[in-house]
Amino acid sequence: MNSRLLERSPPTRTPENAGFDEPTQVGFALIAAVSTAKSLIQTLVRYSSKLTA
């Protein structure tokens, strides 16, 4: 068997098949998490202010 066939070349990334880079995906996840936390905190503050009023 030809030894060249056993060697693997690194995958090439072209703009068409690259998709999002991991840091971009992490950025989206972080923004979504912060946005969700902000909404939850605002809801809790509104709810607790109604309880004390």
Q: Where are the alpha helices (DSSP H) in the chain?
A: 3-6, 15-18, 22-52
Rounded CA separation 43/46 (Å): 5
Identify the pLDDT of residue 17.
56
- This prediction's pTM: 0.50
What pLDDT, in 10s, does the model give residues 1-53? 555 556 666 666 555 555 666 777 788 889 999 999 999 999 999 999 888 76
Identify the pLDDT of residue 26.
80
In the chain, the amino acid numbered 26 is V
